[in-house]
Amino acid sequence: MPVQHLHTSTGVALYDSDEVSENQLADVLERGLVASSVPLPGAAGREGVRVLELSGNMCVWRHYRRGGWPGRFVRDAYVWLGAERSRSFREWRLLQQARALGLPVPIPVAALVHQSGAIYRADIVTQLIPDSTSLGGRLQAAPVPLELWRSVGACIRRFHAHGFHHADLNVHNILLDAADQVHLIDFDRGEIRAPGDWTERNWRRLRRSLDKVSRTLPAGRFGEEQWAALRGAA
């Protein structure tokens, strides 16, 4: 993967020149990402997620925003400690490592940081996984077959086996494509860790997400049978 840097008036972009040319990336940055993109269909509640076309590929642009209590006061600014320690650069490089291992994550296209004094704001661009829906969306639409629950569990175990910690493993960050292949997305604050009990915390976080989504769904959509299929996957 030919990794390149593009310096802008306010920061720097890290990008894969096989996925986007310097001229096209510079043009998009000059026009502005918002002006170059449209909201991601079905991304209700995911502010800052948009779609744009780069080098003939549909891509997802995600602007980094703070969540929870800190987000009430500082929406999208982070302390500047250098580009390589920015959230976008770190996620981009983690996706690059995952792709090199054959793990199902979006193709990383570009990571952007915009510095202003002691703070920065960041964006990441990845290729769109076509004809995909989240596990939460699939579960809300119809019952999910047990075999697909097993596939989801097997996918997560592959990531764990390679030490990939997903900081926000929930039903919205698990995508199923048209062939029911499983992908994980949104690796912000993710990292590679040594074996430990963090894997169980990952599973517990996912279980809480599944319980929350299924609370208002028809009986039988999610319960112990589905959880056992997911956790029992080899």
* Tens of pLDDT, residues 172-209: 999 999 999 999 999 999 999 999 999 999 999 999 99
Q: Tens digits of per-residue pLDDT, 79-136?
A: 999 999 999 999 999 999 999 999 999 999 999 999 999 999 999 999 999 999 999 9
pLDDT at 35: 76
Encoding tokens for residue 96? 């690059």
pTM metric for this prediction: 0.92
Our answer to whether residue 168 is catalytic in this structure is: yes
Quote the pLDDT of residue 67. Answer: 67
Residue burial 64-79, b: 16+ Cβ < 10 Å; e: rest: bbeeeeeeeeeebbbe
pLDDT at 69 over 60: no
Q: How many residues does the chain have?
A: 234
Catalytic annotation, pick one of 18, 76, 123, 168:
168
Instruction: Reply yes or no on whether the pLDDT at 143 is more than 80.
Output: yes
